[in-house]
Amino acid sequence: MRRFEDEDLRGAEFRECDMSEARLVGVVMQDAEIDGLVTNLVVNGVEVTGFVEAELDRRHPVRLLIRSDDPAELREGRRQLDAEWAATVERMRRTPGIEHRGVNGEWSAVQTLRHLVFVHDSWFRRCCLGSTAPFTALGLATDFVPDREGQGLDPDATPTLDEVLAVRRTQATELQDWLAAVTREQLDAPAPIPDGPGWPPYARGRSVRQCLSTVLDEEWAHHSFCRRDLDLLGA
């Protein structure tokens, strides 16, 4: 266990770090920002993640729809996510070039959309449909995904916004058609993940619904990140 004592960590940035079971004692944390998978967070004796999740649900009711077990609500949640992304794309088109700009070390809007192409291929096509097809070449995986080229990704890809959106439209139609016919029983069934290596390796044993949840959660979260960064770039 690493221990930091009397350290000046002002302005420090931690990325892709596992801080499970970390203890921060006697710290000064003003104007700090935490963004990630946070559960069971206790601040001064109070578990606060329940309050945070409830406030996020109040601000973004679509979160309730994409967590539902009802196929009709899942379809409506996906429709709302698509509409929000469409509005954000139109916003980007009013400032040509902004789609390729990042801020604070985050992905650009095009990179974010490319990542969602990868999420669809891996968590929906592979996990929900059982596909063994290579992933879309212009998809973008995070650095910790192994054997990216072996799974079909092109690390040198530099697609335009329109090229990425064309793939996204095809994927959106595929998911919409599937949601139009899926039943609760099919959602509860074990995910038909093909044998052999491939991303995500830790999804085995999950249900189709749990894998679909990752797709929809990623869509919502990354849209929030994209809109946040566009606000910063616009300012």
- Per residue in 20-38, pLDDT tens? 888 888 888 888 888 877 8
Residue 123 has pLDDT above 80, yes or no: yes
- In the chain, the amino acid numbered 234 is G
Residue length of the chain = 235
pLDDT at 26: 82
Q: Which two tokens stand for residue 78?
A: 């996906």
Q: Which of 111, 116, 89, 88 is nearest to 100 (CA)?
A: 111
What is the fold of 69-234? Four Helix Bundle (Hemerythrin (Met), subunit A) (1.20.120)
3-state secondary structure of 165: helix
- Between 64 and 4, the more confident residue is 64
Position 160 confidence tier, pLDDT thresholds 50, 70, 90: very high
Position 47 confidence tier, pLDDT thresholds 50, 70, 90: very high
57-110 per-position pLDDT tens digit: 999 999 999 999 999 999 999 999 999 999 999 999 999 999 999 999 999 999
- In the chain, the amino acid numbered 126 is R
* Cβ-based neighbours of 111, under 8 Å, separated by 6 or more: 102, 140
Residue 1 has pLDDT above 80, yes or no: no
pTM value surpassing 0.85: yes
